[in-house]
Amino acid sequence: MDADQDGLLDRAEFISGMKKAVANDREGILQRLSVMVDAWMDICDTDGNGLIDEDEFQTMYIKSLGASPEDLKVAFAKLDTDGDGTLGREEIRRATEEYYTSEDPKAPGNWLFGAL
């Protein structure tokens, strides 16, 4: 993805690289992202019930990204597409796919990492 070979990956290079990767091997990329989702679920799901509640979501992103609780409250609501107060594995999978592949700026998956 490092198009200018400077040893760094800027935002434009990352976006371009992901678009090329998805265009060339969408299923392969989604399979690799699925591994990331599984790891994310294992880390976030501190009570082991197979679901991520808002507190678990906030703890993950406050500690790892330094995100604000207010932004994360909005993000969680956007990602909780069925409105049940939790994020299941399929909601996270769908959000991850949207985050990395969707051209729709209103896709819920755009909130995967909060308000970036």
pLDDT tens, residue by residue, 27-80? 888 888 889 889 988 988 999 999 999 999 999 888 878 888 899 999 999 999
Quick check: 41 and 52 in contact, CB under 8 A? yes
Beta-strand ranges (E) seen in the chain are 52-53, 86-87
Give the C-alpha separation, 96 to 34, whole Å: 8
Helix (H) or strand (E) holding 48: none
Mean of pLDDT over the chain = 88
Confidence check: pLDDT of 116 > 70: no
CATH of 11-108, one of 3.40.190.10, 3.10.180.10, 1.10.238.10, 2.60.40.290: 1.10.238.10
